[in-house]
Amino acid sequence: MILNSLNPAQQEAVQAPLGHQLILAGAGSGKTRVLTHRIVWLVEKENISPFNILAVTFTNKAANEMRSRIESMLSMPTKAMWIGTFHGLSHRFLRSHWQEAGLPQSFQILDSDDQFRMIRRVIHALNLDEDRFPPKEAQWFINGQKEEGREPHQVEPRDIAGQMFIRIYQAYQEACQRAGVMDFADLLLKTCKLLQTNATLRAHYQARFRCLLVDEFQDTNNLQYEWLKLLAGENNAVMIVGDDDQSIYGWRGARIENIHCFSKDFPGAKIIRLEQNYRSTSVILEAANALISKNSGRLGKNLWTEGKTGDPITIYAGFNETDEAFFIVNRIRDLRQNSYSLRQIAILYRSNAQSRVIEEALMQFGIPYRVYGGLRYFERAEIKDALAYLRLLTNLSDDPAFERIVNTPPRGIGDRTLTTIREYAKASGLTLWQALEQLLEQKQFTTRTETALLSFVNLIKTMIERTLALELHKQVEYVLYASGLIDHYRKEKGEKGLTRMENLEELVNAAHQFTQEGVPDEMSPIAAFLAYAALESGDVQAEVYDDCVQLMTLHSAKGLEFPVVFLAGCEEELFPHYLSMGDPKALEEERRLCYVGVTRAMHKLYMSYAEVRRMHGKEAYHRPSRFLHEIPVELVEEIRFRTKVSRPQAMMSTYQPEPEGRFHVGQEVRHRVFGDGIVLDIEGDGDDMKVTVRFPKLGTKVLIASYLTEK
DNA sequence: CGGGAAAAGCTTTTT
DNA sequence: GCTTTTCCCG
């Protein structure tokens, strides 16, 4: 193992004695390298068997990457090592111990969309008003309770409405149990509960995992922390890696506090800081450091680099969002001339809605781009339809799957028929499938409905018989055609239907590929495939060979790096977002988000804002983001193009403001970075005053007045 | 059942 | 304002 490729702090972390370690790893400080080297070190130097190691990450992508890196460094198989996400590892645990956990062997996993539908059904079944008890809120409530480790009976009701939400939670939980399904949070919760109550299992796993490693620890929630403590027990060594300054998922339950609690809960924990950055220029790092220093309660870190100073950060004041987009596109064209390839350039923004204007500008100039995010493969409606058939075949009790496909494609089973089935099921505590069978026996329907229902029942039964012996991908293929899904989407007009057909056909390939890569022995291929689809909803990664500008939100940019970064929409109300501005905690998270954005850039960072922006249909005038002001002036170069779009002629000629205060046209002024120049124009007043200055060597620049002094 | 009109969102996202 | 979902009627 080559340790001399690591810096002293990294080496210290990799070679740390077997105990608790807290690695505070700044952006671009090589934390993944440290983590993988550490695991290799444990195996090679501490003689820990891969069998005794467990490593947790937040995404499947990170887990896969970690395993393959370790494999390439280690001369032995890593199969015995547990590497995965909290959810993936919990799933693996519950598959082995479904009996102890009181689960059906073929239990399936609900994604958040399935969960939402199921909760809505439950609310209807309880005869509650959807307006008074919105499914979204119930979902938020339920997931929140689960993250705190509370089952329905453990929740303290706050008020009458809270009491109702508990009842919804209770009913939802019962419905899940009946259907043999569990949601994401259940995977963690059931694992924790089982480890808490079953001393034998707890002892077994605590004895096994002598070394536990957690990546991105600042993103853990309470339940995940509990999960870790249960497996760690008294004797196992825990290494966590994280960066409190990059915690940007507080809004979905991540507790930055966990990283603060670690030293207390894991006695003797040693803190090691990785502060040397290998990514960015010192200008970018200084800006990031200055920005994040405005936050309180940090563990504290100061990134530094041995690298170049680099160019100043460019701040562009656009007239409106179109002007901003054109600025970006123009700069991209320049960069391209300067031998940057498009894939080295990223445009980051706070919210997805911002991408449209930028996309239009890129399209207009024929610049290829790729937008990250959006619906992923296994989340597409047509794919979920197909998977619901597979789910129902595996498990006729799967009510959410039943609901989804009973009338997809349309086969004459309407809402009234379904209501009858649902009510019967509810009254007799049966699953929808059982209720349907009993009602058919009792001849409860009109002839037409009965025919429709019978053909559905027969369809499913035939599918089960016919696919039993088939290989997984043949099963999928059979289901696609026999269900009529293919025909259904074929009829859908336009490009949409075509894409959906292609997606469905792709599912056969996906299934084939899945079986080739090997199915865990303890599961049936179909169950394994379904679990895979639910847990790993499929990347929409840009292919590396595509030379495209990368567009994404700041959140999805985390963990990535780009030679050139444009950070668009740096305006108050948008970034920081208006919904976060009232709450100091949320505001600090926005600042961390900005920190994440700034530290993505390797060589060149552009930040831009628009003076006028159409938001929710209205023209809104926002001030430049406070984050821009938190970056030291000497690191910044502010510019504004005087394009036609950016300022109507009329305003210039009729409105010539008399210089208020310190500056007037023709005056000689001084700037800390650019030196001496002459004032050409003045706009606005007070804090917003912008002064156009001509500098002898640098040309004309528009600057904020407070950055200038009289000569 | 399907299409068009009305209404409701509208920050960030992984599992 | 624009887009997505829901609702209502032929």
Q: Which tens digit of pLDDT belongs to each residue from A170-187?
A: 999 999 999 999 999 999
Residue of A11, A15, A32, A449 marked active site: A32
CB A139 within 8 A of CB A184: no
Q: pLDDT tens-digit profile of A447-472?
A: 888 999 999 999 999 999 999 889 99
Residue A536, CB, less than 7 Å from strand B? yes
Q: pLDDT tens-digit profile of A422-441?
A: 999 999 999 999 999 999 99
Per-residue pLDDT band for A647 (boundaries 50, 70, 90) equals very low
What's the CA–C1' distance between A447 and C9, in Å? 25
What's the CA–C1' distance between A455 and C9, in Å? 29
pTM greater than the 0.95 cutoff: no
Strand partners, A276: A304
Active site (annotated) includes residue A643 = no
Active site (annotated) includes residue A356 = no
Between A256-265, A332-341, A541-550, A619-628, the lowest mean confidence (pLDDT) is in: A541-550
Q: Average pLDDT in the A559-581 region?
A: 93
Per-residue pLDDT band for A702 (boundaries 50, 70, 90) equals low
What's the CA–C1' distance between A224 and B7, in Å? 40
Query: What is the spatial distance between Cα A508 and Cα A478, in angstroms, rounded to a whole number?
Result: 10
Domain ranges of chain A: 8-97+189-275, 108-179, 313-376+541-640, 382-516, 668-710
Q: pLDDT tens-digit profile of A204-213?
A: 999 999 999 9
Query: Alpha carbon A140 to chain centroid distance?
Result: 17
User: What was the pLDDT predicted at A540?
Assistant: 53
Residue of A216, A226, A403, A536 marked active site: A216
Full strand arrangement of the beta sheet holding A21-25: A82-85, A53-57, A211-214, A237-242, A21-25, A270-274
Structure-model confidence comparison of residues A374 and A216, the more confident one: A216
Q: Average pLDDT in the A511-538 region?
A: 86
Return the number of other C-beta atoms located less than 10 Å from residue A316's C-beta.
23
Which DSSP state fits A63?
A: H
Query: Which residues of chain A between 377 and 436 are close to nucleic strand B, CB under 7 A?
Result: 407, 409-414
Active site (annotated) includes residue A31 = yes
Active site (annotated) includes residue A206 = no
Active site (annotated) includes residue A32 = yes
Residue of A10, A21, A31, A343 marked active site: A31
CATH number corresponding to A313-376+541-640: 3.40.50.300
CATH of A382-516 among 3.40.640.10, 3.40.50.720, 1.10.486.10, 1.50.10.20:
1.10.486.10
Per-residue pLDDT band for A279 (boundaries 50, 70, 90) equals very high
Active site (annotated) includes residue A215 = yes
Architecture of domain A8-97+189-275: 3-Layer(aba) Sandwich (3.40)
Strand partners, A690: A683, A704
Q: Which amino acid is at A422?
A: R
Query: Which residues of chain A between 105 and 164 are close to nucleic strand B, CB under 7 A?
Result: 111-112
Nucleotide nearest to A615 (CA to C1'): C1
Q: Which amino acid is at A193?
A: K
Per-residue pLDDT band for A544 (boundaries 50, 70, 90) equals low
Residue A85, CB, less than 7 Å from strand B? yes
User: What was the pLDDT predicted at A667?
Assistant: 72
Structure-model confidence comparison of residues A674 and A409, the more confident one: A409
pLDDT at A256 over 70: yes
At a CB cut-off of 8 Å and minimum separation 6, what does A401 contact? A108, A387, A388, A389, A391, A392, A395
What does R_g of chain A's alpha carbons equal in angstroms? 29
pLDDT at A304 over 90: yes
> Class assignment of domain A108-179?
mainly alpha
What's the CA–C1' distance between A492 and B4, in Å? 17
Q: In which residue are the tokens 């239990």 written?
A: A107
Residue A354, CB, less than 7 Å from strand B? no
Residue of A115, A139, A246, A667 marked active site: A246
**What separation, in Å, do the N-terminal and C-terminal C-alpha atoms of chain A show?**
60
- The protein side of the strand C contact, defined by CB less than 7 Å from any of its atoms, consists of A 614, 616-618
Average confidence score pLDDT of chain A: 88
User: What was the pLDDT predicted at A675?
Assistant: 64
Residue of A255, A331, A591, A600 marked active site: A600
Per-residue pLDDT band for A673 (boundaries 50, 70, 90) equals low
Query: Alpha carbon A664 to chain centroid distance?
Result: 50
Task: Indicate if A382-516 has the same CATH topology as A108-179.
Answer: no
Residue A449, CB, less than 7 Å from strand B? no
